[in-house]
Amino acid sequence: MKLIKTIFIITLAICNTAQSQELILEEHFDGNQLNEAIWNYELGDGCPDLCGWGNNERQIYTNENIEVRDGNLVITAKFDGTTYTSGKINTRKHIEFLYGTIEVRAKLATGKGIWPAIWMLGSDISEVGWPKSGEIDIMEYVGKNPHEIHTTLHTPDSHGQSKNTKITTIETVEDGFHIYKCHWTKDFIKFYIDDALVYTFSPEVKDDNTWPFEKPFYLLLNLAVGGNFGGPEVDDAIFPQEFSIDYVKVFKD
């Protein structure tokens, strides 16, 4: 009887949490093309303002490396013997929000030099720059370090470094799809993998330097090649590599 009561209480708590949030994005990629009412393509190599996208990355982003196929968003990194290409999209000016839950079910691209990511940036980045804008890295994976998922917060206090970070080791993370989730409130940011809590960020002092998270953010999905974090070495024999996203859900508090 106690077990039944406990299950009931837990279920009720989950339901109440879900009911208190507004679903503002539910994208299952069921069509045959990207919905540009939600997503923007980011194109090029970041030049002239941010060559190598600020991280010495090797890829050029194109819209041809992004497709909607078999119910998934598929971002493919390619190498033609000379040039690396890949894809990057964001929800800027379409879906921007302050506080909520972001949930993404995805299957990783793998191999040395590969760097898939699910992340967020402050919508004021054009005005204040980075890292004053804040950055929430829900999931980063670098193929040179198998089985490791990185969750990170970038703030002015960290001077752009990965000071507020957690590495979670999952031996099977390269196998199939996994759910990456972030719950962001005015008091904390919590990260989950397959519904297991892996990291909580809640600095004692919350100011512009430690907590640039009291403003709207937007979502990004991309697959980078090489760079300061993903590289520097790249195994050219691994290409093409696919980063597949089954769904994206955003609930606003």
SS (H, E, C) the chain: CHHHHHHHHHHHHHHHHHHCCEEEEEECCCCCCCCCCCCEECCECCCCCCHHHHCCECCEECHHHEEEECCEEEEEEEECCCCEEECEEECCCCCEECCEEEEEEEECCCCCCEEEEEEEEECCHHHHCCCCCCEEEEEECCCCCCCEEEEEEECHHHCCCCCEEEEEECCCCCCCCEEEEEEECCCCEEEEECCEEEEEECCCCCCCCCCCCCCCEEEEEEEEEEHHHHCCCCCHHHCCEEEEEEEEEEEEC
Catalytic residue among 27, 57, 67, 135: 135
| pLDDT at res. 7 | 36
| pLDDT at res. 238 | 98
| pLDDT at res. 163 | 75
Catalytic residue among 140, 174, 214, 242: 140
The total number of structural domains in the chain stands at: 1
Q: What is the mean pLDDT of each run of 10 residues along the chain (253 residues)?
A: 38 50 97 97 95 96 98 99 99 98 99 99 97 97 98 88 88 98 98 98 95 98 98 98 99 96
| pLDDT at res. 9 | 35
Q: Is residue 181 part of a domain?
A: yes
Q: Is residue 18 part of a domain?
A: no
What CATH number does the domain containing 124 carry?
2.60.120.200
What is the Cα Rg of the chain in Å? 18
Q: Is residue 43 part of a domain?
A: yes
How many residues does the structure list for the chain?
A: 253
| pLDDT at res. 158 | 87
> How far apart are the C-alpha atoms of 247 and 196, rounded to whole Å?
19
Q: Is residue 160 part of a domain?
A: yes
| pLDDT at res. 24 | 98
- Residue 103 falls in the annotated catalytic set: no
| pLDDT at res. 85 | 99
| pLDDT at res. 13 | 40
Q: Is residue 8 part of a domain?
A: no
| pLDDT at res. 62 | 99
Q: Is residue 193 part of a domain?
A: yes
| pLDDT at res. 18 | 53
Residue 59, domain extent: 23-252
Q: Is residue 95 part of a domain?
A: yes
Q: Is residue 4 part of a domain?
A: no
- Residue 135 falls in the annotated catalytic set: yes
